[in-house]
Amino acid sequence: MGSALISASLPVALFVVMLGLGLSLTVEDFRRVGRHSRAVVVALLCQLVLLPVICFGLVLAFQLPPALAVGMMLVAASPGGPTANLYSHLFGGHVALNVTLTAVNTGLIVVTLPIVVNLSTTYFLPGEAALGLQFGKVLQVFLMVIVPVAIGMLVRARAPEVARRLNLPVRVLSVVVLVAVISLVLFAERANLADYFVAVGLAALTFNLVSLAIGYGAPRLAGVERPEAIAAGFEIGIHNTTIAVTVALSPALLNNAEMAVPGVVYGVLMQFAAAGFGVLLTRGRVRPATRDATPIGPG
């Protein structure tokens, strides 16, 4: 994709989204891991190990073209999106657990995403293995993801009133920049859009539904309480596709428009699937949402 506008807007979009995430986090969110150790361990195993394996199987089953296959693996490697907190809040999940999982996953992505990208490009694009993320590119991902989160956390720790006032504007701006970036990608790829949705739409939807089901079902099988399992379900089923799209499109990283398409498609479909999943979980139940953390959005 040669659009200078898209290339320039991606780092800004990711910075705004990750800054908003940082404004919602405290050190306590990381300490909380010990208090919900079973739920955290099960959710992380699903997110970091099971999801990439399942995604790889689906990519092979749907026989996706190589670039779209790598794009799907990028989605699988992306951490949970802040939107998961909102859905968890609405449908009776343990929102504090969502915040904790998002915080931990965002930190781990610096290690896990390059591994998945390198393995994926090596397998699906053996003649173009250099597309994988080398150390310099990993450092750039680290700076793009962790630095704005750290800035947001620092603002919240040192100036909580400023963080409180910034929270809503940053959330609104996150929505605006995400919609703008997705619109730019869709416009730039409009000639191939129908073909892309046909090629990857069903695979993305299937992966989304399976992720939601595993995210809820695996913790329940492990004896995790229902609100925590709901939180894990949304955390695992809703991905921060901004990261996947940025890594795919950034000229300094993968620089491949086709690889960004699964992230865009998944980012659209997951909103509807998550809402339907929440309704299904709460059908016939009247449960107040767990209010031990402020929901943030979007991802």
Q: Which of 74-83, 95-104, 212-221, 245-254 has the highest mean pLDDT?
A: 212-221
Q: Is the pLDDT of residue 201 over 60?
A: yes
Q: Can you read off the two tokens belonging to residue 201?
A: 């739409």
Q: What type of residue sits at position 210? A: V
pLDDT tens by residue, 20-29: 777 777 777 6
User: Quick check: is 240 in a domain?
Assistant: yes
Can you give the pLDDT at residue 298? 40
Average of per-residue pLDDT values in the chain? 79
User: Quick check: is 287 in a domain?
Assistant: no
pLDDT-based confidence at residue 209 (cuts at 50, 70, 90): very high
Can you give the pLDDT at residue 253? 74
Its pTM stands at: 0.77
pLDDT-based confidence at residue 128 (cuts at 50, 70, 90): low
Specify the number of domains making up the chain: 1
Q: Is the pLDDT of residue 127 over 80?
A: no
Rounded to 5 degrees, φ, ψ at 218 are -60, -45
User: Quick check: is 293 in a domain?
Assistant: no
User: Quick check: is 299 in a domain?
Assistant: no
Can you give the pLDDT at residue 291? 42
Q: Can you read off the two tokens belonging to residue 96?
A: 């504090």
Q: Quick one: which of 30, 208, 186 has its CA closest to 105? A: 30
pLDDT-based confidence at residue 205 (cuts at 50, 70, 90): very high
Higher pLDDT, 249 or 174: 249
Can you give the pLDDT at residue 183? 73
Distance CA 264, CA 256 (A): 13
Distances (CA, A) of 226 to 176, 182, 213, 232: 33, 34, 13, 10
**Domain CATH code at residue 269:** 1.20.1530.20
- Show Cβ contacts of residue 293 under 8 Å, excluding neighbours closer than 6 positions: 24, 29, 85, 95, 96, 98, 99
Distance CA 95, CA 107 (A): 19
pLDDT tens by residue, 259-287: 888 988 898 888 889 889 999 888 755 44
User: Quick check: is 51 in a domain?
Assistant: yes
Task: Report, in angstroms and rounded to the nearest whole number, the Rg of the chain calculated over CA atoms.
Answer: 18
User: Quick check: is 289 in a domain?
Assistant: no
Q: Is the pLDDT of residue 48 over 80?
A: yes
Distance CA 36, CA 113 (A): 25
Q: Quick one: which of 84, 104, 128, 72 has its CA closest to 244? A: 72
- Can you give the three-state secondary structure of the chain, one letter per residue? CCCHHHHHHHHHHHHHHHHHHHHCCCHHHHHHHHHHHHHHHHHHHHHHHHHHHHHHHHHHHCCCCHHHHHHHHHHHHCCECCHHHHHHHHCCCCHHHHHHHHHHHHHHHHHHHHHHHHHHHHHHCHHHHHHCCCHHHHHHHHHHHHHHHHHHHHHHHHCHHHHHHHHHHHHHHHHHHHHHHHHHHHHHCHHHHHHHHHHHHHHHHHHHHHHHHHHHHHHHHCCCCHHHHHHHHHHHHCECHHHHHHHHHCCCCCCCHHHHHHHHHHHHHHHHHHHHHHHHHHCCCCCCCCCCCCCCCCC
User: Quick check: is 49 in a domain?
Assistant: yes
Can you give the pLDDT at residue 76? 94
- The whole domain housing 167 covers 4-282
Distances (CA, A) of 184 to 217, 263, 264: 36, 14, 11
pLDDT-based confidence at residue 150 (cuts at 50, 70, 90): confident
Q: Can you read off the two tokens belonging to residue 49?
A: 């190990």
Q: Can you read off the two tokens belonging to residue 250?
A: 């950034």
CB 137 within 8 A of CB 260: no
Q: What type of residue sits at position 91? A: F
pLDDT tens by residue, 232-265: 999 999 988 888 888 888 776 777 878 888 988 8
User: Quick check: is 292 in a domain?
Assistant: no
Average pLDDT over residues 72-97: 83
Q: Which of 86-95, 105-114, 169-178, 210-219 has the highest mean pLDDT?
A: 210-219
Q: Can you read off the two tokens belonging to residue 153?
A: 């956390």
Q: Which of 13-22, 166-175, 233-242, 288-297 has the highest mean pLDDT?
A: 233-242
Average pLDDT over residues 92-111: 80
CB 73 within 8 A of CB 116: yes
